[in-house]
Structure 1
Amino acid sequence: MKIKNILPIFLFLITFPFYGQNENMDEKREKIKAYKVSFLTTELDLTSAESEKFWPIYNAYDDKQFELRLQKMKAYTKKLTDEALKNMSEKEAASLVYQIETTDEELFLLRKKFTSSLKKILPAKKIIILRKSEDDFNRKLLHQYRDKAGKN
């Protein structure tokens, strides 16, 4: 998996707790999820039959992916502070690299299973549009966060 695909999501997860200062995390996540559903609905232009089959699969995938990232990445970010990195032994660093690789592999296998499920209900072109739309959404969300942070 390429770093350019992981970086926006990783940055989002790292900065996500800062959003929690004004509202709790669940409320923010629900707002973002609703915004994402609206965005993807517009981009994918699903038929009603496609939509009926797509959303349960997508929501299950999205929830599992979020939980996996939240669970694993939270542990990593604690270890990635400047102070922790300075004091980290080579053995601890190797262990962390292994944990990151394992998480990347789990996310890849989850995505692969998700794509396999989508192939049964959507044409290949819409699967590609979905992938692009997810990247566009993540970029848009990151830009909004940067704009909001820049105004404060």
Structure 2
Amino acid sequence: MKKHTLLLALIFFLMIGTTQAQRTGEKYDREKLEAARVAFITTRLDLTPEQAQKFWPLFNGFNDLRERNLKEMFDLGRIMDDQLSEEDAKSRIARKFELQRKMIVDEEKFVKDLSGVLTYNQIIRLNGLSREFARHIYQRRREDGKK
């Protein structure tokens, strides 16, 4: 178990280093960034290989669904022209609430599905890991930019 965790940590740091070696303003390598995110989450949750094999398809499916819903909510808030009828605005707000309710149901199903793979402590820790990873990448980029 320790060897597996050390290997994942090594992969994580190599991927972060490679990702961070790129200069600000250059296009980032999406595959390397995704591999670094996988290593980061796998390491932080201390997933066993069996857990990881079951976890990632569930996580990726939920994450894709969540991002589609968030994009739709963002698009609903955008006004393309200066005039938006009251009826259209009312409809957009109603759809936004629909999406929010759907996202809660989706998350409840995701947690239920995950509970067969992870412990509830791991599920709780998962909550902030995506944000923590984004913060970590941002801080690394800032540090590299100062050098």
Q: Do the two structures share a fold, i.e. TM-score over 0.5? A: yes
- Match for residue 56 of structure 2? 55
**Would the aligned equivalents of 2:51 and 2:117 in 1 still touch at CA under 8 Å?**
yes
- Match for residue 108 of structure 2? 112
- Match for residue 42 of structure 2? 41
Gap change, CA 1:136 and 1:52, over 3 Å in 2: same
1:133 to 129, 132, 139: 129
Gap change, CA 1:112 and 1:95, over 3 Å in 2: same
Unaligned ranges ≥5, structure 1:
1-20
Which structure has the highest helix share of the two? 1
**Would the aligned equivalents of 2:58 and 2:110 in 1 still touch at CA under 8 Å?**
yes
Stretches (4+) displaced over 6 A: none
Q: Distance in 2 between matches of 1:128 and 1:31?
A: 26
**Residues 2-151 of structure 1 mapped to structure 2, 5 A cutoff:** 23=27, 28=30, 30-70=31-71, 72-73=72-73, 75-79=75-79, 84=81, 87-140=83-136, 143=138
Gap change, CA 1:140 and 1:36, over 3 Å in 2: same
Q: Which amino acid aligns with 1:90?
A: E
Gap change, CA 1:68 and 1:22, over 3 Å in 2: farther
Partner SS state of residue 128, structure 2: helix
**Would the aligned equivalents of 2:40 and 2:133 in 1 still touch at CA under 8 Å?**
yes
Partner SS state of residue 118, structure 2: coil
TM-score relative to the length of structure 1: 0.61
Q: Distance in 1 between matches of 2:105 and 2:32?
A: 27
Fraction of identical pairs, as percent: 29
Unaligned ranges ≥5, structure 2:
1-24
Aligned-residue RMSD, C-alpha: 3.3
- Match for residue 8 of structure 1? none
Q: Distance in 1 between matches of 2:136 and 2:93?
A: 29
TM-score relative to the length of structure 2: 0.63
Q: Which amino acid aligns with 2:76?
A: Y
Q: Distance in 2 between matches of 1:90 and 1:140?
A: 43
